[in-house]
Structure 1
Amino acid sequence: MEVSTLSKALAAVARCRGDIAGAFRMSLARWGEGSPATLLLRAAITTGALGDDHAFAAMIAGVPTQSIIAAIDRISPWRRAAPNVPVLCESAPPQASWRNEGQVIAVSSADFETVRVNADKSIAGILVFTVEAGRELGDAFMGQLSNDAGGAINYAESDALLNPANDGTGTAPASLTHDAIKVQSTGSTAEAIRNDLATLLAQFGGDMSRAVWAVSSRTATQLALHGAALGSADVNVTGGFLAGLPLCAARGVPDSVLALIDPSGIVLFDGGAQFATSEQSMLTMPDGSVRSLWDENLGALRFIRVLDWQAGRAGCVAAITGIQWAT
């Protein structure tokens, strides 16, 4: 298993009992001054946490349960934003027009929607491990632990992004499917699914050339079972193509939803993630009990990822909801 830069840095911190400066010196001696792990630890001395966006992206790419946000972005990029910076989204895709040289140039789009993401919500968690495992098993163990953290992050982001019941009043941004165009599932046969897909495609208001399907891994396998009966379906557990459009699948997306998204109409802030380890903290467990890491010879990996999104163009998300044939 290839160990990511972030996992190497976390292993060094674990071996040094949470001392980032000590981990930096260890990495410097072991991997050299120009090593990505050493550079990551050098930056963490100031911030107190490992939080390089590139290192996090590399780690997420290697997690067995993929990020639906990253998977879609690789095919059709989201409209990126920064916290509290207003972004203008055209209500319709911009257009260009021919003109004679010297004529006035027309504005490509005269109707805008101002979108501002606050980036005031985050996905967070704490994983507990034995100090002996963190020290003795080293990079490979921390790689497994970071995979666990990445999988937990990916599940939480997928559910929040595409669960129609998420109206944004809780601790996550409102789902893209909550106020989206909705088509109620009419059945489980290939004919019923084809008809639902045709209805959705007719109502979809986004740019079809940029559109991507998003489904759960379980829903993807059920689509694969129908195969050619759906007209055009080349689907596997992580993605493929459906009705000629690319499809991304991930654990955490509700099984009852099949969404079509034009990411160019979605304003997204992705702050990456920060990781920190400790062997001296007091942890409050889900049952309310308090446990001392030091007393029990345990370590803890804390992860925080800041994410926010908002639809900036009406019609750029449509979803078949109420699917029962995927479970």
Structure 2
Amino acid sequence: MPATLRGRRSSRFRGGRPVRGCPDGGAAEEGGSVTSSDARRASAALALRTARLAAGYTQAQLAEATDLHERSIRGLELGKIASPRLDTLDRIASAVGMTVSERDLFMTAWRGPQAPGIDTLDAPFGSGKVLADFLRRAIQHNKDSLFKVATMQQATVGRDRRVHRVRTSEALVARKDAVQQSYIILNPGADVDAGRIRIRGYGSLRLGEQYLCENDIKVFAIEFGSPLQKGESRVVHYECDFVDAYRSDAPLTTRVGLGFFQSRPTYSLSVTFDPKALPASVRQEFQPTSTSAPRYTKELRLDPFHATHISLQSPRAGAHLIAWSW
């Protein structure tokens, strides 16, 4: 099991035994029988309530902190929601301050140790080998199904000199018929707990399941709603929030890396710094994943608006990594 998913079972997530015949606990279906999924859901509901109270939230406050409806929080705590979305659980786990190991136990309590993953990829929690294989298949899906035309990103750096948010817009074209989704792979580096990165979609974008893989890599799905046919394009917008994701011992001077896949996309990045924490310089690195490909490094200057802008054209097809540091 990868380090990001490993950890001793926390007492916070040892839910009590469900009460037989109690509908509010989600422990009994009509007819009075208790199934393993009923018991698991009741235990998970108790775990959620315990975590919420430990964090000092009311149901309304937790709903506001996670951009969810209060009735959703109430339904989860009553065990009335059989299969909540993982991005919903991820928001809750981040809001109440769960560690990575606690988060894994929390997710497993709701979905089960071998819950199905994204559509046909079937990526369960638990096994590091399975998750590594899922990551490989997610990358292959992107390469086979989509052509990335352009990526535009806007990053905001706070007074602590760390990236707080990155808003991304991507223009995608389908390589084949019936493409339903794209996978975003975040590899933020050792300073960031990938499990605590919060993802938001904009416009009509719908976020799918989210997973932690080996080396603290986070993968999440972007669902197109209606499938793309070959040659059809779509622009997607999403935001990654890093504010609460930095490890306590992370240095103030930081580095954040993102990646993109396939083709020769145009890449544009704007980084805006807080005027009270301006760096002396910014260094940008561009590294194709092929070991034989050249690496590009460039020193950048800030403009009068406390921002620096990067625009480049990928010199060859394949996967690439972009990173900036100061």
Both structures adopt the same fold (TM-score exceeding 0.5)? no
**TM-score range for the pair, normalised by the shorter chain length:** under 0.3
Higher-RCO chain (CA-CA 8 Å, sequence separation at least 6): 1
Length-normalised TM-score, structure 2: 0.28
Bigger Cα Rg: 1
Length-normalised TM-score, structure 1: 0.28
Structure with the higher helix share, 1 or 2: 1
